[in-house]
Chain A
Amino acid sequence: MNFELSDDQKLLVDTVQSFARKDSPTTRFRELRATEEGFDRGVWRQMGELGWLGVMFPEAVGGAGLGVQEATLVLEQLGATLVPEPYLESVLLAGTALLHAGSDAQQQRWLAPMVAGETVLTLAHTERQARFDAFDVSTRAERRADGSWLLTGEKTLVPVGHAADALIVSARTNGAQRDLDGISLFVVEPSATGLERQRLEFMDGHKGATLRLRDVIVPPDALLGEAGQGWKSLELALDHGAAGTCAEGAGLLRAVLEMTRHYLTERKQFGAPIGSFQALQHRCVDMFVEVELAKSTAILAMIKASAADVGERQRALSAAKVTLATSGGFVVRQAIQLHGGIGVTDEHDVGLYFKRHHTLSTLCGDEQYHVERFARLPGFAPLD
């Protein structure tokens, strides 16, 4: 076993880290959260030019032909300073769906421009009744006589849904509402008639939209892969997204620990740095323990995200997701507590990290969802 990064990976991590620290401190996030889009398309283009958006995609679409590991390493660095560009949604979620289900032509049309930093993408799968069961799809798509498709339904609180230049929408083409079979993935462009995007604010300062599809007509080539066979791609996209949330979370938690450690050495009460009080020292040590566990499971997720065996992949990802929620939840809560009053102000960064952590814990399946999935995976019950 070897958990060292390769030289190329180290170089990638170093450049992203230096961008995050120097060019995108949290003040940039603060400025952008007050804007309509919530991120900067110029910076996105720059990320494309630097090759960060294409690390996990083939050279044919302008990518570097590496893997999910590299993409999650990028995201981990972006998480440390709350970089708001939609890497998780465009690259890990929508990107995976296009890569896995899209034809060469479809990848040229929708993946290549994203890799170049010209467009942003998102995956629109969330439905109110589905909770985290992405196979529970009530949005319907019907094939029309001319081969085009008619989409009807609603996708709730889709991150980046307000800005995406193309949305990967899950819709049911046959079967019952909770069947794995019969789910199809469509690329819907914002100009489609009948598509209403209600722009929404998210707690963490990011933006998105609830999508209402009322008889939206998309051409035949908007269908990714075969009709009714979209579940495997959707599931993989969400697993890659889960790995992304864990990686971003690991970067975020490390920053939170450092911020708190620093505050404990600076802040004085009772004539001494509060970090000299043993109760707070132990608390900070507990935070450190949880950060290391979250980081460890994030590495597990990075490595196993592309495992060929679905059970092996999901075991790792669910473990990482649950640890992100529980260990990470402890860390961000204690971080606020140890900051005292200033931790509850919008002016201090610790609250921003607290909010982002909640999003990362929730997207792609929350704690309870992943605990249950973990316990249902093949191999969980002992063979007698």
Chain B
Amino acid sequence: MDMTYSPEHEAFRREVRAGLRAAMPAALRAKAEVDAHFEHDEIMQWHRVLASKGWVAPHWPAAYGGPGWDSTRRFIFAEELEAMGAPVLSPFGVSMVGPLLIQFGNEQQKARYLPKILSGEEVWCQGYSEPNSGSDLASLQLRAVDDGAGHFILDGQKTWTTYAQYADHIFVLARTQPEGKPQAGISFILCDMKTPGITVKPFLTTGGTPAFCETWFEGVKVPKENLVGELNQGWTYAKALLGHERTLVAGVGISSRMIRRIKLIAKDTWLGGRPLLEDAGYRAKIARLEIQLEALKMANYRTVAAAQLGHAPGPESSILKLRGTEIQQACFDLAMEIMGHDSLSWNNPEGTIPAREQSIAPQFNYIRAATIYAGSNEIQKNIIAKFILGLPA
């Protein structure tokens, strides 16, 4: 066993680090410096910067515009992005519908959609969840009916659609077969958000941002060519997508960045006449969290190394989302604790509390979602119990 990177990988790290630094616009750098909240426009600005370098979609095959990196290079690149506090790109195009189209889409669909996902010209959102179908996604009710004239007619409601108000397209799971096993009657359909009959109503998260929407479909007419793959096979495609890039779901980079941020805040916070970071009790708290992260990081490395050798993800990969999201939440809990009275402040003018602390309270609220979305942690545990530990149903 050996934990060093090869000289080529080390050189790669130096190269992308320098490249990213040079490419980041000054205004974004200033915000990244204090881990400020990035608005949609800024995220898209960064998307275009990465696009110009060919670095938007590291996990896409080179034939579709990926940079052709191995899994270790992709991992290093992600680490470098997170270490510099870069805006996190919207995942819906680059990490979700893009890879899905590459795997299951036809040539016309790939040619129509992939280049604009890469360039950032078109923004996507994800229409899976419905008011009565969250964890039990297979029970979804939004209907897509063949009108016999080359269209599907969509009727129903999606909810929690993240940033639908900015999206040009939505990919929906729709019911095309009402009878039989629920999973076997779902299709994967692409839809232009400007199609008549779609209504989007954004609403606020507890973090105070209009991050998600209710999305209604009333008689929405979608050309049949927007069906991805085969009719009634949408569930299989969606599930295949869940297996993508498992090493990123742990959010190790985000948490590492947060630990650094916690230490910087602790350095500038006073306790008993000296910096809080010098207090043994708080140092122990931060250290415990960092050690938890160290353990998770190692589990993540094991997954990366296995992927590099071409092995399927091992059991260790199934714990990444579970523990990774818990650690992300613990980071914000600790940051809030260290901020003391400052943690009570809510979106007040600059200068009320230190700039580095400003976005912590909203994120402390929003990060509660990390253990809920992308398959809640309870659902993850059900899956692990059944499929990894083989416990009886």
Residue ranges of A at the interface with B (Cβ–Cβ < 8 Å): 126, 128-133, 136, 156-157, 159, 177-178, 198, 200-204, 208, 210, 268-271, 277, 279-280, 329, 333, 336-337, 340-341, 343-347, 351, 354-355, 358-359, 362-363, 366-368, 372
Contacts and interface: CB of A to CB of B under 8 A. Distances in A.
B271 interface: yes
B72 to A, nearest CB: 35
A344 B273 contact: no
B372 A344 contact: yes
Contacts of A336: 368
Nearest to A272: B136
5 contacts: A131-B276, A269-B135, A337-B376, A344-B365, A368-B285
A344 B205 contact: yes
A102 to B, nearest CB: 26
A10 B343 CA distance: 36
Nearest to A371: B281
Contacts of A157: 341-342, 344-345, 352
Contacts of B382: 279
Nearest to B368: A336
A149 B111 CA distance: 77
B378 A280 contact: yes
Interface string B122-164: 0000000100111110010000000000000000000110000
Contacts of A359: 344
A362 B340 contact: yes
B271 A337 contact: no
A33 to B, nearest CB: 10
B237 interface: no
A208 B342 CA distance: 12
Interface residues of B, number: 53
Contacts, number: 131
Interface of B: 129, 132-136, 139, 159-160, 203-208, 212, 269-273, 276, 281-282, 285, 329, 333, 336-337, 340-348, 352, 361, 364-366, 368-369, 371-373, 376-378, 381-382
B206 A341 contact: no
A368 B273 CA distance: 16
A55 B235 CA distance: 63
B269 A354 contact: no
Contact of A366 (B340, B364, B368): B340
A221 to B, nearest CB: 30
Given A136-B273, A178-B273, A201-B348, 14 more contacts: A131-B340, A133-B272, A156-B342, A157-B344, A201-B347, A269-B133, A269-B135, A270-B136, A270-B139, A271-B136, A337-B368, A341-B129, A344-B205, A368-B285
Contact of A340 (B135, B270, B345): B135
A342 to B, nearest CB: 9
B384 to A, nearest CB: 12
Contacts of A372: 281
Given A201-B347, A203-B346, A341 B160 contact: yes
Contacts of A203: 343-346, 361, 365
B341 A201 contact: no
A259 B170 CA distance: 34
Nearest to B373: A341
A93 B97 CA distance: 56
A198 B351 CA distance: 12
Contacts of A202: 344-346
Contacts of B282: 368
4 tightest CB-CB pairs across the interface, nearest first? A351-B206, A346-B204, A269-B136, A129-B270
Contacts of B372: 337, 340-341, 343-344
A94 to B, nearest CB: 17
A345 B205 contact: yes
B204 A132 contact: no
Contacts of A271: 136, 139
A200 to B, nearest CB: 5
Given A136-B273, A344-B372, A345-B206, A201 B345 contact: yes
Nearest to A208: B344
A346 B340 contact: no
A143 B205 CA distance: 51
Contacts of A280: 378
A126 B376 CA distance: 40
A200 B341 CA distance: 13
A333 B340 contact: no
A200 B349 CA distance: 9
Contacts of A198: 352
B346 A346 contact: no
A249 to B, nearest CB: 15
A329 B348 CA distance: 25
Given A157-B342, A157-B345, A270-B136, A346 B203 contact: yes
B368 A344 contact: yes
Nearest to B208: A346
A203 B342 CA distance: 10
Given A128-B270, A341-B373, A351 B345 contact: no
B159 A341 contact: yes
Nearest to A361: B337
B160 A279 contact: no
A210 B206 contact: no
Nearest to B276: A131
A150 B219 CA distance: 72
Given A131-B340, A270-B136, A372-B281, A355 B348 contact: no
Given A201-B346, A203-B361, A362-B344, A345 B368 contact: no
A283 B343 CA distance: 28
Contacts of A159: 344
Contacts of B133: 269
Chain A CB count within 10 A is highest, among B206, B342, B365, for: B206
Contacts of A363: 344
Contacts of B208: 346
A269 B340 contact: no
